[in-house]
Structure 1
Amino acid sequence: MSDDGSENSNEIEEEDVTDLSNSDVCTKYQEASKIINLTLTGLVSQSVAGAKIIDLCQFGTTVIETQVGKLYNKKVAGVAVEKGVAFPVCISVNEVICNHSPLPTEENAELKVGDIVKIDLGCHVDGYIAVAAHTLVVAETAESVPVDVPDDLGNVAVAAYNAMLIAADAIRAGATNTDVTKVVERVASNYGVNTIATVRMHQMKRFVMDGVKEVALKEPTPEDIDEGEEPVPECTFEQAEVYAIDVAMTTGDGKVRPADLRTTVFKRNVEANYRLKMKASRYVLTEVDRKYPTLPFTLRHFDDERQAKMGITECVNHGLLMPYPSLIEKNDAKVAHFKCTVLLLPSGTNKVTGLPMPAYFKTDKEPDEETAKIIKEITEREEKKARKKAAKKAKKKGKK
C-alpha cells in the first residue's frame, strides 16, 4: 500500500485484453473457425434428398458441441471455459431466407431434389465467435451434382458470393462502413439483383455477435426510411477487430416479411427486467440467464420443450427476449446467402470461415472491371496460401 492507502501500481491486476492483439484470443477465434468450417462441410454433405431439416440442425449442433468439448478443458482460476454454439444451426429452404431452426415435435420436413438450402451457424470458444453461412442446391446424393440449376439462381448466388469476398477484402483498418456498402451495392447492381435490406454485417466481440459497428448492404432510400428502416451510423474499422461478413441477395425486391413458421431462435435482452407472472415464463428466463445470457439460442435446446413454448411469449412481450423470426421472400424469388468471419490482423484482413461457392452456380454476366480485379487478387492470394500450406504439410510429413 502507498501512504494514501491505494494499491501500488505494479500490484494492480491488468484488465484482460480481449481483442486480436492478444495471441491467445486470436488462437481461440481460429479454433472456433476450424469447428465452423468442419461442421459446415459436414452439413453440406448431409444436405441431400430425403434428409430431414431437424436432423440436419441436430447433426450440426452435435458436431459443434463434440469438437469444442476437446478444447480448453482446464479450468482458469477455478472456472470452466465456456464454449459451444454461438448461433443455432438454421436450415432455411427456398424462399425462406434465414433463422429456420425447427422443433422435433413440430416438423419433419424433408429436403427434395432442387431445393435451395441456406445453412447458417455459429460457434464460440471462451466467448470468441466464428460464424458462417452457405447456399447449396439439393441433389440425390452427396456425390451427385445438381442438374438444371436455374440461370437466375446461379446469377444471384454468384453475386452474393462475390459481394461477400469483395466486402471481406474492403473491411480493413482505416476504411469505413460506407466504403463497404458501396462495393456491395456495385456488385448487386452489376448482376441485376437486390440485397436483403434487413441483413447487416456486424463487428463481433467476446460474447457479442452484433457489436456497435455495423455495415448495411445498401443505403436506405427516403421510402425505406419512411417505412422505418434506420440509416447505419458511419464508423471506421480498426486493427484487431473481428467482423461477420453477411450477404444475402435475391431476385425479388429485397423487402422481406416474417414467415408463417414458429420462431424458435431468441436472444436475451440484458438491459430489460420484469417480474414474470407465469411459472413457465420464469422457467424459461432462469434457463436463459443460466445457459444463454448473451448469445442466441433455440427452444430446441431446452430440456422441457412444452414449458419453453408456453413461457416464451411472456418473456418476448415484456422485452426480456428478442426474437429472430424466419424471414421469407416472394414464392418465385431466388435467394442466396453467404457469410464468413474476418480477423483484422497486422498482416491484413484474414478470412477464416466459409466454404467455396459450389461450382454449379454459374452466370453469363461478367463482374465489373474493379470487382474482377479484386476477385483475381483474392484468388491469387488464396492459391498462394494453399501452396504454402501444402508445402508445409509435405515437409512435416517428410520428417516423420
Structure 2
Amino acid sequence: MSEDKDVDYSLKNPDVLTKYKTAAAIGEKVLAAVSQLCVAGEKIVTICQKGDKLIEEEVSKVYRTTKLKGFSHPTTVSPSSYVTPYTPLSSDTAEANIELQPGELVKIQLGAQIDGFGSIVCDTIIVPPKEGAEDVVTGRNADLILANYYANELLLRLMMPPGLLASGTDEEKAKAAAVKAPTQSKITSLLDKVVKSYDCNLVESTTSWLFDRNEIEGTKKIVIAPAEGTKGEGVPQVGEVWGVEMGVTLGSGKVKTLNQRATLHRRTNNTYILKSQTARKTLSTIQTKFGHFPFSLRQLEEGETDTKYKVGVFDGVRSNVLRQYELVGEKDGSPVARSLTTLAITKNGITKLGAPPALDLSKYQTDKKITDEDILKILEQPLAKNKGKSKNKKKKPAKKAGKPEEESEAGDDE
C-alpha cells in the first residue's frame, strides 16, 4: 500500500502519459474499425459486441504484466436523436433487433484504459447505404456536422490556460498569462455563436470532465448550455487530462429522458455492504473487470450463465454503489451530433490523446459560414508549440467556413 502511494500518477511521470497514449491509440483504432461496421441494415447490438471484442483483443497485446487494464467505456452506438451513449442488451428482443438506417447520424463512443489511465473517444458518422457512401454531404446534415466540428475546435482552444503559448519578452509573456481564463458562461456564449452560424443549437448540459487515474468524472467540469440547477466547476490547468465533449443539434437543444431501460452503469466511490451473496458476487465481478469505469449490462449478461447479475445490479444501484446512466435524447427528436476528445494539457500546449478522425471538410458543403472575427481569431490559434520546422501561416478559416489551424506536436513532457 505504501509503495503505491509513493508512485507519481501525474503527467510529470513519463510512463503515465505513455499509458494514456497507449489507451488512446487503442480507442482510435477500434473507433475506426467500428465506424466501418456501421452500415445500413446492421444491428446495433452486433456492432457493440464486435467493438468490445476488438478492445479486449487490442488491450491484451500491450502491458502484458499489468492486471489493471481493459475498458474505459464500452462500445456504444447511439441513434440519430440520442444524446447519451446507447448499448442495447442481447436479451432484449426488441432493442437487439434495431438496425441502422441509411443516412442516419449515429454517435460511436468507446475507450480503453491501461493501469487506470483511460481515454474515451466519440465520433458522429452518417450511415452509408449498402452500395457505398455519398461523396459529398449537403443540406442540414452538413450544417450539423460542421457546426459540431467547429464548436469542438473552438472549445479545445478555450481549454488552453491563458498565456501558455505566448511568445515575446518576459513582460509580454507575463501579461498574457495574467489574463483570466474565460468563464463558463463566456465559453457557452462563444460556442453558441458558432453553432448559430449553421442554424443549430448546443445540446444543454454538455459536460467535459477532468480525468484522473480510475476516474472519468473528476473534481472539475465544464458545463456548456447548463440546464437549470447545473453549473461547472474549476478551470483547466497544465498537468491535467480532460475528456472534452461537444454536442450540437438541429433541434431546440433541450433534452428528455427516454423511456428505455438504462444499460450503462459505473461503480461509484461509495462503500456499502450489500446484503445478498448474489449482489456481492456481482459487485466483485464489476470491480475486477471494469473498476470504476462505465460498463454495459450486456457485458455482464454475456459473461454469465444465468440472470442473477440483474439482482446484484439492482441492489447496487439502490445502495448507491453503482450509478446508472439514464438514456437521454433530443426533446423534439431532432438529429444530434457529438464528439469527445481526451486531451492532455502540457507546458507545450494541448495534446490530443484520443480524438475523432480529422474531418475531410471538402466532403461537407453548405452556404453557411462563421463570420464573427473574434471567433475566427481563436480558431486560427494553434493548440501546441511547433517544435519542428516552421510552416507557412494558413489563411483565415472564416472566409471558407472557418477551418482552424491544426495542432503541431506538443511533446511528451509536462
> Normalising by the residue count of structure 1, what TM-score does the alignment of the two structures yield?
0.82
Query: Match for residue 356 of structure 1?
Result: 358
- Number of aligned residue pairs: give it: 360
1:373 equivalenced with 2:364 (yes/no): no
**1:108 CA displacement:** 2.2
Query: Match for residue 287 of structure 2?
Result: 289
**1:376 CA displacement:** 4.1
Separation in structure 1 between the aligned mates of residue 278 and residue 198 of structure 2, nearest angstrom:
49
1:91 equivalenced with 2:68 (yes/no): no
Separation in structure 1 between the aligned mates of residue 121 and residue 220 of structure 2, nearest angstrom:
19
Query: Match for residue 299 of structure 1?
Result: 297
Q: Which amino acid aligns with 2:323?
A: M
1:158 equivalenced with 2:151 (yes/no): no
Over residues 195-221 of structure 1, what are the superposed CA-to-partner deviations in whole Å (9 max), with x where a residue is unaligned? 222320011011110111110112x4x
| Paired residue secondary structure (1:86) | strand
**1:142 CA displacement:** 8.3
CA contact (8 A) 2:252 2:332 kept: no
Query: Match for residue 321 of structure 1?
Result: 322
| Paired residue secondary structure (1:191) | coil
Residues 358 and 56 of structure 1: is their aligned pair in 2 closer, same or farther, counting only changes over 3 Å? farther
1:43 equivalenced with 2:46 (yes/no): no
1:29-108 equivalences in 2 (<5 Å) = 29-74=20-65, 80-106=66-92, 107-108=96-97
CA contact (8 A) 2:151 2:195 kept: yes
**1:26 CA displacement:** 1.0
Gaps of 5+ in 2: 163-180, 383-402, 410-414
Over residues 103-134 of structure 1, what are the superposed CA-to-partner deviations in whole Å (9 max), with x where a residue is unaligned? 12221222121111111112111111111111
Separation in structure 2 between the aligned mates of residue 58 and residue 272 of structure 1, nearest angstrom:
31
| Paired residue secondary structure (1:306) | coil
Residues 384 and 281 of structure 1: is their aligned pair in 2 closer, same or farther, counting only changes over 3 Å? closer
| Paired residue secondary structure (1:382) | coil
| Seq. identity, % | 26
**1:272 CA displacement:** 4.0
Residues 48 and 358 of structure 1: is their aligned pair in 2 closer, same or farther, counting only changes over 3 Å? farther
Residues 94 and 13 of structure 1: is their aligned pair in 2 closer, same or farther, counting only changes over 3 Å? closer
**1:31 CA displacement:** 1.0
| Paired residue secondary structure (1:267) | strand
1:211 equivalenced with 2:221 (yes/no): no
| Paired residue secondary structure (2:316) | helix
1:117 equivalenced with 2:110 (yes/no): no
| Paired residue secondary structure (2:34) | helix
Aligned with residue 406 of structure 2, among 376, 379, 382: 382
Q: Which amino acid aligns with 2:8?
A: V
CA contact (8 A) 1:117 1:138 kept: yes
Residues 182 and 331 of structure 1: is their aligned pair in 2 closer, same or farther, counting only changes over 3 Å? closer
Separation in structure 2 between the aligned mates of residue 98 and residue 13 of structure 1, nearest angstrom:
35
Residues 249 and 346 of structure 1: is their aligned pair in 2 closer, same or farther, counting only changes over 3 Å? same
| Paired residue secondary structure (1:97) | coil
**1:20 CA displacement:** 1.3
| Paired residue secondary structure (2:350) | strand
1:2-41 equivalences in 2 (<5 Å) = 15-41=6-32
Q: Deviating runs (4+, > 6 A) in structure 1?
A: 11-14
| Paired residue secondary structure (2:340) | strand
Over residues 203-251 of structure 1, what are the superposed CA-to-partner deviations in whole Å (9 max), with x where a residue is unaligned? 1011110111110112x4xxx43xxx22223x23221101111011112
Query: Match for residue 194 of structure 1?
Result: 201
| Paired residue secondary structure (1:208) | coil
**1:69 CA displacement:** 1.1
Stretch moving more, 249-258 or 237-246: 249-258
CA contact (8 A) 2:161 2:238 kept: yes
Stretch moving more, 189-198 or 247-256: 189-198
Query: Match for residue 176 of structure 2?
Result: none
Residues 14 and 87 of structure 1: is their aligned pair in 2 closer, same or farther, counting only changes over 3 Å? closer
CA contact (8 A) 2:120 2:340 kept: yes
CA contact (8 A) 2:71 2:113 kept: yes
Q: Which amino acid aligns with 1:39?
A: V
1:222-371 equivalences in 2 (<5 Å) = 224-225=227-228, 229-233=229-233, 235-277=234-276, 279-302=277-300, 303-304=303-304, 306-330=307-331, 332-352=333-353, 353-357=355-359, 359=361, 360-367=363-370, 368-371=372-375
> Normalising by the residue count of structure 2, what TM-score does the alignment of the two structures yield?
0.80
| Paired residue secondary structure (1:39) | helix
| Paired residue secondary structure (2:6) | coil
Q: Which amino acid aligns with 1:85?
A: F
Query: Match for residue 168 of structure 1?
Result: 156
**1:315 CA displacement:** 2.0
